[in-house]
Amino acid sequence: MSKHNKLFKRLIFASVGMFFFAFALVPLYDVFCDVTGLNGKPSLEQAKISEDVVNDRLVDVGFITHVQNKAPFKVRVDQDIVTVKPGEMNQVVFSATNLTDETRIMQAVPSISPGLAAQYMHKVECFCFAQQTFLPGETMDLTLLFYIDTAIDNEIEELTLSYTVFDIVNNE
């Protein structure tokens, strides 16, 4: 019977190991996405200003905002699409309103499509770097300063920056 027990213990060990492997997939997934830049998650760190500008190329950058889970915010952007030169600094202003009569905290999560373009989008200033506190009924202008990397792939002619807006006060 001890022969059974030894094998049994090994197999139980393997099963338990695979259970934890499922959870290990979570950080592995993030590492994989970071290394390959696959899933369109842009960097959330402040970028340095570009030194040179490419004048003979133009890239269309579109903006989308999406309010998640009926969060009580209204978010608008002043321009839906801007056409930019790689390396050139651009400013886009979003305006957000707290629709309730309570103080709310907003977090915007950026995502870029196509995913491979994410590494070429550099944000010098973004409201998504920090949580934004809104007083009851307050409307705020939120500024985004960005430039497109001069190394951007020639195949990418347009990209879309999407902000998903969450209300993190009322997060049950």
Partner 1 sequence: MTGTVENDQDSYQGDDDHGHGNDHHHTPTGIKRWLYSTNHKDIGSLYLGFSLIMLLIGGAMAMVIRAELFQPGLQLIEPNFFNQMTTVHGLVMVFGAVMPAFVGLANWMIPLMIGAPDMALPRMNNWSFWILPFAFAMLLGSLFMEGGGPNFGWTFYAPLSTTYSNSNTALFVFSVHIMGISSIMGAINVIVTIINMRAPGMTWMKMPMFVWTWFITAFLLIAVMPVLAGAVTMVLTDKYFGTSFFDAMGGGDPVMFQHIFWFFGHPEVYIMILPAFGIISTIVPTFSRKKLFGYHSMVYATGSIAFLSFIVWAHHMFTTGMPLAAELFFMYSTMLISVPTGVKVFNWVATMWRGAISFEVPMLFAIAFIVLFTIGGLSGLMLAITPADFQYHDTYFVVAHFHYVLVTGALFSIMAAVYFWLPKWTGNMFDIRLGKTHFWLSLISVNVLFFPMHFVGLAGMPRRIPDYALQFADFNAIISLGGFAFGLSQLLFVWCVIKCVKGGDKVDAKVWDGAEGLEWEVPSPAPHHTFATPPVIK
Q: What is the footprint of partner 1 within residues 112-171 (CB under 8 A)?
A: 113-116, 164, 166, 168, 171
CA–CA separation, 135 and 147 (whole Å): 31
99: helix, coil or strand? coil
Nearer to partner 1, 8 or 46 (CB): 8
Out of 98, 107, 119, 132, name the contact with partner 1 by CB under 8 A.
Answer: 107
Scanning 36-44, 89-97, 127-135, 137-145 for contacts with partner 1 by CB under 8 A, the matching segment is 36-44
Among 34, 38, 78, 125, which residue interacts with partner 1 (rule: CB under 8 A)?
Answer: 38
Sequence-ordered list of residues with C-beta below 8 angstroms from that of 37, at least 6 positions apart, any chain: 115, 116, 118, 119
CB of 124 to partner 1, least distance (A): 23
Q: Does 39 bind partner 1 (CB under 8 A)?
A: yes
Greatest alpha-carbon span in the chain = 78
What gap in Å lies between CA 21 and CA 12, rounded to an integer? 14
Strand ordering across the sheet containing 121-125: 73-77, 90-98, 139-148, 121-125
- Closer by beta carbon to partner 1, 31 or else 56: 31
- Please, which residue, 87 or 167, has the CB nearer to partner 1? 167
With CB under 8 A as the contact rule, the residue among 53, 109, 124, 145 that binds partner 1 is 109
158: alpha, beta or left? (left if phi > 0; alpha if psi -120 to 50): beta
Question: Do the beta carbons of residue 153 and residue 100 sit within 8 Å?
Answer: no
Q: Which residues bind partner 1 (CB under 8 A)?
A: 1, 3-4, 7-8, 11-12, 14-23, 25-26, 29, 36, 38-40, 68-69, 107, 109, 111, 113-116, 164, 166, 168, 171
